[in-house]
Structures are given as C-alpha cells and as structure tokens.
Amino acid sequence: MEKQLFLGDEAIAQAAIDAGLSGVYSYPGTPSTEITEYIQASAVARERGIHSRWCTNEKTALETALGMSYAGKRVLSCMKHVGLNVAADAFMNIAMSGINGGMIIVTADDPSMHSSQNEQDNRVYGNFAMIPMFEPSNQQEAYDMVYDGYDFSEKTGYPVLLRITTRMAHSRSGVTTRERKPENKLNVPGDARQRFVLLPANARKQFKILISKQDEFVKASEESKYNRYFTPQSPDPKSSSGVKLGIIACGIAFNYLQENYPDGFEHPVLKISQYPLPEKQLTRLVDECDEILVLEDGFPVVEEQLKGYLGRGIRVRGRLDGTLQRDGELNPDKVRKALGKEVQSYYFIPEVVEMRPPALCVGCGHRDVYEALNEVLKEYEAPKVFSDIGCYTLGALPPFRAIDTCIDMGASVTMAKGASDAGIFPAVAVIGDSTFTHSGMTGLLDCVNENTSMVIIISDNETTGMTGGQDSAGTGRIHDICKGIGVHPEHLRKIVPLKKNYEEMKAMIREEIEYRGLSVIVPCRECIQTHARKAKEAKR
C-alpha cells in the first residue's frame, strides 16, 4: 500500500479504525487531541458509526470505553498524561477486571511541559497497574502497535497502555496502512460477573489472576518485534574509559541514539518499545557489558528499575547520575553529549531576540473578564484569584497578571473555597466552561452546601478553547447546571463580556464580592476562534 503522511496521533487513529474500532472516548488535551479529532473527521468512521463524541472528562471517557469493551467491542480512550490522573480510579481497576473487547488507552505525555503543568511519565502507571505497555519510536510503529494491539489486548484479556510523548504525537512521517477489519460483534461472556463485579471476594481472585499473568506479559515483551537487541558492528566496543558500555533506548529515544550513529552502533543496544521489561534481553545486555546507559524520554523509570534503590548492583548511567539532565525532553544533542561526543553550534542566539510568549487573542472574552476583575480587585487589600487550566491561564502573564494559582482541572473552585474557609477575602475563582464541567461541578456542590463566601467566575466561551475549539460538554447549559447544583438564583449572574458592558460587569463583581456568600457569575461570549471558523464554514 502507498505511504501516507501521518502525525503520530493520526497514525494511532487510523490504525484503530483499520483494526475494527467501534468507539473512541476522550477528553481534549495536548498532545493527544488530534487522535480523536482524526476519527471524528474520518469518512470511514462516520460510515461505520464509530462513536467519537468528546466526553466530559477522562474518567467518564475511560469508564464509557470499558462499557463498550464489556459489550465485546474494540475501543480507544485517549488523554494527555495528567488526564490519566483523573481517570486513575477507573484505570487501576480495569487492570483488576480485565477487558472483553480489545482496549487501548493512549497516554500522551509532555516532557518539557510544552503545554502542561507537569511532565509525569505515565509508564509509572503502566507498571503500577501491572499491564502491558507499548512505547513507539516512530509513526509506523505507532500504527502497527495499535493495529496489532487490539488482538494482543483480546488475547491477554487486559487493556494496553500506549505511551507516546509530544514529539511522537506531533511529528509526521510516512506510514503504510493495512487491511481494514470488521468491527467485533456484541458479545458478553458468561463469566463476566465474576470479573466485572469487583466485590472483595472477586477482586482478590482477579488480582491473583493479574499476578499470574505477569510472566506471560514479560514473555510477550521478550518475543516482541518492537524490542530489539543490536550487536555492535565495530569490533571494539570499549569506550574511552575502557569500560564496555551497553545502551538501552526506550521509545523515541532510540531515534536520537540512531541519529548519533548513522553508520551503525558502536555498542550493544537494546531498544525497548514494549513493557514489562524484556528480562531475557536485559540480562544479556547486563552480562555483556560493564556499564549501562539508559536513554528514556521522561522519568528515569527503567533506570530506577535497573539500578535498584541502593544502586549497588549494576552500574547504570542516565538521568539519575547526571549523565543526562534529570528533567526535560530528550533530543539528539542531549543524547550526543551523554555518549561523550561533541555538540557543535556555529551561531548563537543574538541578544536582540526577545521572548515571545503566547497571549490571549485580541477580541477574546477572557480579556474583558480580566480587565473588569482587575479593576474591581484594586479596591481590596489582599484579594486572591484562583484560576484553572485553559486559555484564561494566560491571564497570569502581562498585561493582566490577574491570577494567583493554576494547579489542576477544577482546582480554582475548590482552592478558592479552602482559602475562603481560611479567611482570605475576597476569594475569587476563574474557570472556563469546559474545565467547569470537567471537574468544577463537584467542587461547586461543596461550596453550595456551605454557602462559602466566594465568587466563582465561569468564563464561558462555549468551547474547549486551548486545545483548538472542541465541543464543550455543557455548552448553553452552564447557567442551568449551576442552578441545578443549588446556587441561589439571586447570586447566579449572567453577562456578555464586552467593552460596552464594563461598568455593569464591574458593578456585578463588586456586588457579589460584598454579598459574603456563594456567587457565580457567568460571562458568556463565544471564543473568537471558533466563531471565525464557523463563519468561514457557513460561507462555503
């Protein structure tokens, strides 16, 4: 078949469709968003009626995916790394119940935090849940891992965690696709209750089964075509120090290693793209070498496993001993340095070059909200603004400098409550509509139950803006949702955030701060990006 140019994300999506996918359940999050978007735009997916609508958050997504798998169908659930924290309850317990129809969970990690608040490495989750993991080094592998991964998942009876990084997700390359398979038929096995009712009596049995499966998972890794042992081509593998070096390269790190040895490796190399770790090949590498260099993009997961806590056994180099920087994304230059080779630059960045941070779009409603809020808060001695994850986080930067916190999805509401409980006044939460329905609604109920003295501003742009304008679960219903949760109608206010409404908006914020109970203000105006896009589509 002819090669097609795919982003890593697109290769995953196409592979899932080709493998007989029946549904994708996800919440948008960079760098995972394009997987679900690709399926939403796919003609085949539409024709087959593959479910692809966005979910309210990663937990609802993963649980719904499990429901589809329970019914015998093949399913995909995609999230950014921190999204798996939200879905962790479901994730850990799916490892206990196992699956029925094949299930692939994609975690898109973001080393260097290109657009995230941490760079957690979710291979830790894979080990934690004791399930098999894939980590592709290129787009073709990503395709093949998903395409074959469904068979693998169904054969083992467990979900597969596919771990990619930003670079893999957002890098494009030629991919050969394979024959399209039909979807699975509806089929719930007779013993499903013993597996899916995780009462302690059943769960204990299920855990024993999971433990007993570990050898099978290791064997699969040892036999995997994605894990490869390379013997060096040059006869003298001794490094300058006279020590025989062996190299482990996980996932995309393998590319950076290869880049530095265009004519073939000079050391034994073990490429790892399937976990749990392939014991046989690892043993061979350790037996053949005096020292192991571990290259992995993210946390020193393999390095730690290999080294052990006291590090008295195998000599391991990597992110823990400073051979590689402990944090941040890998690249060919960092790997080059770790290999003791020289990195050369001929030109420096001239001093005239200034930082160009991202900014809220001109005409964005969040701008109007912050301008009015800043004005009002000047009247108070020690106001604090607790914000959240979304475009409006950019309110932290000049010219606004309007927010004091941004921690995790939904934390604006709950942190503001805790701060108010402690005596902070005024305590203001700023959250977007999509983040509110993702994780703010439950916190709001806590605030309602105590009528906490705080103002929650739900800056509603009727979309999930920061990830590119995906549908937001509560569009058109934010006001009703707040009312339903129990916000007092007199302190549930609406406004259109426009310059002409500044004075009204300021008065509203001031009044609600002074109320000394719970208030919710919903400034609502569509995101100018989605508005422009819709106008363009309508013109066509």
Partner 1 sequence: MKTDIILAGVGGQGILSIAAVIGQAALQNGLYMKQSEVHGMSQRGGDVQSHLRISDKPVASDLIPLGSADIIISLEPMEALRYLPYLKKDGWVVTNSKPFENIPNYPEMEEVMKTYNALPNKVILDVEQIAKDLGASRSSNIVMLGAASPYLGIDFSKLRKGIRNIFGKKGEEIVNTNLKAFETGRNAGEKIINTNQHYLHKNDLSG
Under the rule (CB under 8 A), what is the footprint of partner 1?
A: 3, 5, 7, 30-31, 33-34, 114-115, 167-168, 170-174, 252, 255-256, 258-259, 262, 331-333, 336, 343-350, 352-361, 391, 394, 398, 466-468
Report yes or no: 57 and 409 within 8 Å, Cβ to Cβ. Answer: yes
- The first and second tokens of residue 453, run together, are 């003295």
Pick between residue 333 and residue 511 the one whose CB is nearest to partner 1: 333
Of 147 and 256, CB closest to partner 1: 256
CA distance 26 to 56: 8
* Angle of CA points 179, 181, 184, to nearest 5°: 170
250/478 with CB nearer partner 1? 250
Other C-beta atoms lying within 10 Å of the C-beta of residue 216: 13
Shortest Cβ 398–partner 1 spacing (Å)? 8
Retrieve residue 416's tokens.
Answer: 């503001």
Q: How far is the CB of 391 from partner 1 (least distance, A)?
A: 7
Minimum distance, C-beta of residue 94 to partner 1, in the bound complex (Å): 28
Residue 522: helix, strand or coil by DSSP? strand
Rounded CA gap, 18 and 179, in Å?
Answer: 7
Report whether 165 contacts 135 (CB < 8 A).
Answer: no
SS3 for 32-72 is: CHHHHHHHHHCHHHHHHCCECCCCCCHHHHHHHHHHHHHCC
Q: Would you say 38 or 70 has its CB closer to partner 1?
A: 38
State the nearest-atom distance from the C-beta of 4 to partner 1, in Å.
Answer: 8
Q: What is the dihedral of CA 411, 90, 85, 316, to 10 degrees?
A: 160
Give the residue with the Cβ less far from partner 1, 268 or 465: 465
DSSP 199-218: -HHHHHHHHHHHHHHHHHHH
C-beta closer to partner 1: residue 79 or 444 = 79
> How many residues are listed for the chain in this entry?
540
Angle, helices 200-223 vs 139-156, to 10°: value is 140
Q: Do residues 53 and 471 touch, judged by C-beta distance below 8 A?
A: yes
User: Radius of gyration over alpha carbons of the chain, in Å?
Assistant: 26
Q: Supply the minimum distance, in Å, between the C-beta of residue 269 and partner 1.
A: 13
Rounded CA-CA distance 406/383 in Å is: 16
Of 28 and 132, which has the nearer Cβ to partner 1?
28
Pairing of strands 274-275, 133-134: antiparallel
Task: Please report how close the Cβ of residue 423 comes to partner 1 at its closest, in angstroms.
Answer: 34
Would you say 56 or 331 has its CB closer to partner 1?
A: 331
Give phi and psi for 171, each to the nearest 5.
-115, 140
**Distance of closest approach, residue 380 Cβ to partner 1, in angstroms:** 27
- Shortest Å distance, C-beta 123 to partner 1: 19
Instruction: List beta partners, residue 24.
Output: 76
Q: How far is the CB of 251 from partner 1 (least distance, A)?
A: 11
Sole residue written with tokens 């991964």: 149
Phi, psi of 134 (to 5 degrees): -115, 145
**For residues 37 and 121, which CB has a smaller minimum distance to partner 1 in the complex?**
37
| Residue closer to partner 1 (CB basis): 84 or 103 | 84
Characterize 483-496 residue by residue with b for buried, 16 or more Cβ atoms within 10 angstroms of its Cβ, and e for exposed.
Answer: eebebeeebbbebe
Closest CA to 502 of 404, 383, 370: 370
Displacement of CA 212 from its chain's centroid (Å):
30
Could you count the other beta carbons within 10 Å of the beta carbon of residue 156?
Answer: 18
Q: Whose CA is closest to 157, among 220, 212, 99, 208?
A: 99
In the complex with partner 1, the residue whose CB is nearer, 31 or 474, is 31
CB 2, min distance to partner 1, A = 9
The SS3 call for residue 115 is coil
9 or 154: CB nearest partner 1 = 9
Q: How far is the CB of 363 from partner 1 (least distance, A)?
A: 12
- In the complex with partner 1, the residue whose CB is nearer, 262 or 489, is 262
